[in-house]
Amino acid sequence: MDHVTIDKVKELAQVNKPHCISIFIPTRRSGQEVKEMLDQKELKNHVQDIQQKLENLQLKPREIEELLQPVKDLLEDTGFWTQQYEGLAIFRNHDRFEYYSLPVSFESFNYVADHFYPMPLIPYLNEEGRFYLLALSLGEVKLYEGTAHRIKDLELDELLPDRLEEVVGFDIKEKQLQYRAGIDEKGRANFHGHGLSSEEFDKIEALKFFRAVNDGVMQYLQDKKAPLILATVDYLVPIYKEANDYKYLQEDFIPGNPEHEDPKNLHKKGMEIIKGFFEKDRKEKAGMFEEMLSNKKASYKEEEIVPAAINQRIDTLFVKKGEALWGMYNKESDRIMVREVQTEYSPCLLNMAAMHTLLNSGNVFLMESDEMPEPNSKLNALFRF
């Protein structure tokens, strides 16, 4: 699987059953590392580690084997490892087995508890580093997905018309000839008595085509929020914008006919356009922290933030990357109890806060230490009230 939605993450976040296994590893699409099967070796190490954890939980060997067998089967699937993106996420318990190959790199990590650990998926949900590029001409349409490292043709032939004639009819040239042959008394081209110029007629036909393109694009991007960049000739840009319904279409575009453009060049030009896009919301929210802290509408104290997340009070949560906070939340006292190490009954409170914030439609950002508004804390938050 290479697609995970916010609804899927919310579904995973609400699972509360024994022996939930979460695994994250970085992966490669090609190169010597793939030939040396380094990704399989990484996953195999996690399987061995998880087996030990399950033994410590007093599971019987047969139960452990049943739990881990689907993951082991992936290790033997040679074709699977030649079709990876930048990261692989696996979720397994007695009831489900799901895996996602995604264009986002993960820190190598596994987690065994009575719930899943979807927090590393947050950059993917936030579309961080990902963009879409629509290479558009009247003779060819392609939608690409790009990350910081690659660009991929999505091959949406079933959704996107390939060229103008497919939408307006293959007699377009004949219609244009008929149209341009009609000259009114003032010497203007006339089509069926409507008094349109040839440019206006061409725009009407192009707009009809682009509306069909937009319909296909929207079917694929309807739940996305990554930027969309146009690659097309200048005069087609305003026509497509008139047809466009996608909220994140960028103002800047890649000029020129993209039909014979190398996708690598499109990727390079696209990266220049979306530079800074992914930091906008995060920087705006982080910039509000000091003022809101002085008004007691923000906090850097984990003991305040975790209960606030559970009680639906978090507007924006900043989580420090690569950290863990083990402990328990007591519903009666509305307090957390922090533990030094993870046990079966001390989940990661960072994951708990992040998942509750997502479930209640808040914003969650995973941040490097020096990006955190208050870097000495593992959690920073802006409150709703």
Q: What is the pLDDT of residues 101-110, one digit of tens each?
A: 998 889 999 9
Alpha helices of 57-170 — where are they, by DSSP H? 61-76, 122-125, 164-168
pLDDT of residue 189: 44
Instruction: Quickly tell me which residue has 């800047």 as its tokens.
Output: 252
Strands (E), 233-359: 254-255, 298-299, 314-320, 327-330, 335-338
Give the model's confidence band at 168: pLDDT under 50 very low, under 70 low, under 90 confident, else very high.
Answer: low
> DSSP per residue over 310-337, as a string?
HTT-EEEEEEETT---BEEEETTTTEEE
* CATH 3.40.50.1000, applies to 6-125: no
Mean pLDDT of the 243-270 span: 95
Mean pLDDT of the 296-322 span: 97
Angstrom distance (rounded) from CA 299 to CA 379: 8
Q: pLDDT digits over 104-144, tens only?
A: 889 999 999 999 999 999 988 887 778 999 999 999 999 99
**Residue-averaged pLDDT of the chain:** 89
Q: How many CB atoms are located within 10 Å of the residue 119 CB?
A: 25
pLDDT above 80 (res 31): no
* CATH 3.30.70.920, applies to 280-383: no
Which of 23, 248, 190, 191 has the alpha carbon at shortest distance from 121?
23
- Per the structure block, which two tokens stand in for 256? 């020129």
pLDDT above 60 (res 190): no
Q: Give the pairing type, strands 97-102 and 87-92.
A: antiparallel
Q: Which residues of 79-113 are buried (b: 16+ CB within 10 A; e: fewer)?
A: ebbeebbbbbbbbbbeeebbbbbbbbbbeebbbbb
Q: Which helix (H) or strand (E) holds 217?
A: helix 198-221
pLDDT above 90 (res 29): no
More confident call, 142 vs 28: 142
Task: Collect all residues with Cβ–Cβ distance below 8 Å to 122 and sequence separation of at least 6.
Answer: 319, 354, 358, 364, 365, 366
pLDDT of residue 181: 46
Domain boundaries, the chain: 6-125, 131-275, 280-383
Count of helices and strands (H, E) across the chain: 14, 15
pTM: 0.73
Q: Which helix (H) or strand (E) holds 172?
A: helix 172-181
Which of 235, 212, 246 has the alpha carbon at shortest distance from 133?
246
Give the model's confidence band at 187: pLDDT under 50 very low, under 70 low, under 90 confident, else very high.
Answer: very low
Give the model's confidence band at 89: pLDDT under 50 very low, under 70 low, under 90 confident, else very high.
Answer: very high
